[in-house]
């Protein structure tokens, strides 16, 4: 588990998140800190996990601001929360499962660019990106990023 000083500085929700995360990823406890963003909840958990790939800028971002677990990779992030049942932890375990799928590269991040500018990103499965024209017009490029770099591409071919 993270050092007691870090755990002691976490707010109650962040402690719940940390308990679940470090049960599955105990080595990450040493990377735990509180979110320095002045707009974040006091005592929110922040983790930045580098992919440790040569030359890679891929970092897994995990934070607990706003009584929700947020997980980000590359251009994309997902929120896991249950505002109707705040005392349950099922949404935290859902977030942990999402993290596992990212790390195991069962999930990848597809980023869509419109007129040369980033416009949207989605979680997907390797090799299966839907035609972005179904959702957004003017998409001229799709990229893919994965945790270990296995599926990284700057020019993804869209499948129909």
pLDDT digits (tens, 9 = 90+) for 30-62: 999 988 888 888 999 999 998 876 566 789 999
Calpha distance 5→73 (Å, rounded):
27
User: What's the pTM?
Assistant: 0.89
Are residues 38 and 74 both part of a single domain? yes
Specify the number of domains making up the chain: 2
What is the reported pLDDT for 160? 53
Sequential DSSP letters for 31-61: G-EE---TTSPTT-EEEEEE---TT---EEE
Question: What residues make up the domain containing 57?
Answer: 4-103
Q: Tell me the pLDDT tens digit for each residue of 110-157.
A: 999 988 899 999 999 998 887 777 777 788 889 999 999 999 999 887
Q: Are residues 83 and 123 in the same domain?
A: no
């Amino acid at each position: 588990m993270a050092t007691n000083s870090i755990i002691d500085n976490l707010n109650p929700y962040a402690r719940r998140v940390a308990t679940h995360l470090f049960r599955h990823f105990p080595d990450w406890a040493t990377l735990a800190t509180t979110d320095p963003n002045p707009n974040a909840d006091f005592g929110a958990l922040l983790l930045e996990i580098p992919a440790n790939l040569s030359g890679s800028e891929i970092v897994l971002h995990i934070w607990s601001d706003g009584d929700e677990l947020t997980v980000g990779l590359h251009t994309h992030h997902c929120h896991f929360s249950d505002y109707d049942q705040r005392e349950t932890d099922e949404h935290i375990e859902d977030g942990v499962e999402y993290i596992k799928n990212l790390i195991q590269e069962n999930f990848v991040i597809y980023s869509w660019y419109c007129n040369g500018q980033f416009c949207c990103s989605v979680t997907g499965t390797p090799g299966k990106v839907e035609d972005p024209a179904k959702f957004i017009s003017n998409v001229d490029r799709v990229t893919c990023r994965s945790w270990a770099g296995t599926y990284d591409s700057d020019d993804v071919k869209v499948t129909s």
